[in-house]
């Protein structure tokens, strides 16, 4: 499909806009859960953890989480389990970004299209595809939250003595 074939318009299908909105909200929720993982692993208050991660991109959070987790001396299996969850978060974030940060339009015939990686217009993902990614993000958030409390992340934290408070 060539750019000259149609005038650019914002798709106005309520189902599509609803699916994209749910995707955005689910991803924001995942970001908050990742920030809460920092809270749990760093043994900080909610306010401290949120302040410490303010302005961090979601792609920065897994790096911070892995660094903090490593300091708690997890087993190889626990490190691998965390890596798998964070890898899934990275993959789903990329998918979400590919849906929300690309150009969308609608053809005169009503077909929703999206620009691809190589700036070519092509079919946009279906509402069901978007909802599928949203469901995966929600499930991952639930899993991370479980592992944070009461799962393996919490178990690692319970093996470690609390950090001594240094007063000056």
In this prediction, the residues of the chain whose per-residue pLDDT falls under 70 are 1-6, 160-168
4 by Cβ neighbours in 10 Å (0-12 / 13-18 / 19+) ranks as: exposed
Residue 69 in any domain: the answer is yes
Cα–Cα distance measured from residue 93 to residue 115, given in angstroms and rounded to the nearest whole number = 18
The number of domains in the chain is 1
Residue 68 in any domain: the answer is yes
Instruction: Give pLDDT, residue 140.
Output: 98
Residue 22 in any domain: the answer is yes
Tell me if the pTM is above 0.85. yes
Backbone angles phi, psi at 12, to 5 degrees: -125, 45
Residue 2 in any domain: the answer is no
**SS3 at position 138:** helix
Q: How many residues does the chain have?
A: 168
Residue 163 in any domain: the answer is no
Query: The domain containing residue 128 runs over which residues?
Result: 16-158
Residue 8 in any domain: the answer is no
């Amino acid at each position: 499909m060539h750019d000259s074939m149609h005038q650019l318009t914002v798709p106005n299908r309520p189902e599509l806009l609803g699916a994209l909105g749910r995707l955005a909200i689910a991803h924001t929720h995942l970001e908050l859960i990742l920030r809460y993982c920092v809270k749990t692993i760093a043994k900080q208050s909610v306010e401290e953890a949120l302040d410490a991660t303010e302005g961090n991109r979601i792609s920065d959070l897994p790096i911070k989480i892995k660094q903090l987790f490593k300091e708690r001396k997890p087993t190889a299996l626990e490190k691998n389990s965390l890596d798998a969850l964070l890898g899934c978060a990275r993959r789903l974030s990329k998918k979400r970004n590919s849906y929300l940060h690309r150009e969308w339009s609608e053809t005169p015939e009503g077909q929703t299209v999206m620009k691809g990686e190589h700036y070519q217009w092509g079919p946009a993902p279906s509402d069901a595809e978007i909802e599928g990614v949203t469901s995966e993000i929600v499930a991952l958030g639930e899993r991370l939250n479980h592992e944070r409390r009461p799962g393996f992340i919490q178990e690692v934290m319970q093996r470690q003595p609390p950090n001594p408070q240094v007063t000056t």
